[in-house]
Amino acid sequence: MIENRPFTRFLTHFVLICGVIAVALPIWITFVAATHDELRMNQAPLPLLPGSYLWQNLKQTLFGEGLSGTEQAPVWLMLLNSLAMAMLISTGKIAISLLSAFAIVYFKFPFRMTCFWMIFITLMLPVEVRILPTFEVVANLGMLNSYWGLSIPLIASATATFMFRQVFLTVPDEMLESARIDGAGPMRFFFDILLPLSRTNIAALFVILFIFGWNQYLWPLLITTDTSMTTIVMSIKQMLEAAEQSPQWNIIMTTALLAMIPPVFVVISMQKLFVQGLTETDK
């Protein structure tokens, strides 16, 4: 940087640290709440420094009854449901998008553009705007309260298809020509050449889609009535409702913490891929 006077440097870091604190505060408070017992969590003002009940809260939340007075599935099961849903959505989206992008880029076939536009249209139809009829379709297919019902309707993704199309278009034509001279058929080319060449893009997209899947709220809320299918993210809402009668904030916030950890971990640990994926997908 050009000026590096002590004052500007101090100001820069001061503003950034304030920003970090502001952004991190809600999460810190959640963490602190998860480390105190129920009694302490019912006295104002609430603590700002961690207590010593984290393990106890975790144990009670994960394997105990969880929140007393509610009929919820155990939290470990909810975590498992969330994981299953997130994995199905992300791998499913990646798989079908890879295949359709491959077809659109590498084959010339009648109705190619029709297919392209039909996929494009999904970009304009977020689940929130077609919620009722989609619910009816899923109900009629008997997919309520199932992992398939949770994931498949969210799987079609124009964004992922576009991104892979973009990636495939940057692969030099000579790769295909060379592979054809080597005698590779379409699927062999796809698996031997194209997939390895796009593996960083696949990984980057996986991070984004995993978070997208994990954080789904409205859709699971509608199609799971069976408590054994509840996902962790939707359970928070039920807990908040329960909190109005019996505020067990330590348990609620421990659950919130557990619900946050997997996606936050994915983002932090795969930061470079994630940033690359994000800034390239959406552009």
* Binders in 251-280 for other proteins, by CB under 8 A: 252-253, 256, 259-260, 263-264, 266-268, 271, 274-275, 278-279
Those residues whose C-beta lies under 8 Å from the C-beta of residue 192, and which sit 6 or more positions away, are 179, 184
Residue 157 DSSP class:
-
* Helix axes 249-269 and 54-63, enclosed angle (nearest 10): 90
Structure tokens at 203: 């990984």
Q: 3-state DSSP call for residue 283?
A: coil
Within 1-20, the residues that bind other proteins by CB under 8 A are 1-3, 8-9, 11-13, 15-16, 19-20
Residues 152-171 that bind other proteins (CB under 8 A): 152-153, 155-156, 161, 168-169
Cα–Cα distance measured from residue 9 to residue 62, given in angstroms and rounded to the nearest whole number? 45
Contact between 191 and other proteins by CB under 8 A: the answer reads no
Site membership for other proteins, residue 106 (CB under 8 A): yes
Binders of other proteins among 214-243, rule CB under 8 A? 214-215, 217-218, 221-222, 233-234, 236-237, 239-240
CB 262, CB 214: distance < 8 Å: yes
Residue 39 found at the interface with other proteins (CB under 8 A): no
Q: What is the C-alpha to C-alpha distance for residues 149 and 137, in angstroms, rounded to an integer?
A: 10
Contact flag: residue 247 with other proteins (CB under 8 A)? yes
Smallest distance from the beta carbon of 220 to other proteins, in angstroms?
Answer: 11
Rule CB under 8 A: say whether 94 interacts with other proteins. Answer: no
Rule CB under 8 A: choose which of 249, 251, 254, 273 binds other proteins.
Answer: 249
Residue 232: CB minimum distance to other proteins, A: 9
Among 176, 202, 229, 242, the residue binding other proteins under the rule CB under 8 A is 176
Q: If you compute the radius of gyration of the chain from its CA atoms, what whole number of angstroms results?
A: 24
Residue in the structure block whose two tokens are 């060449």: 197
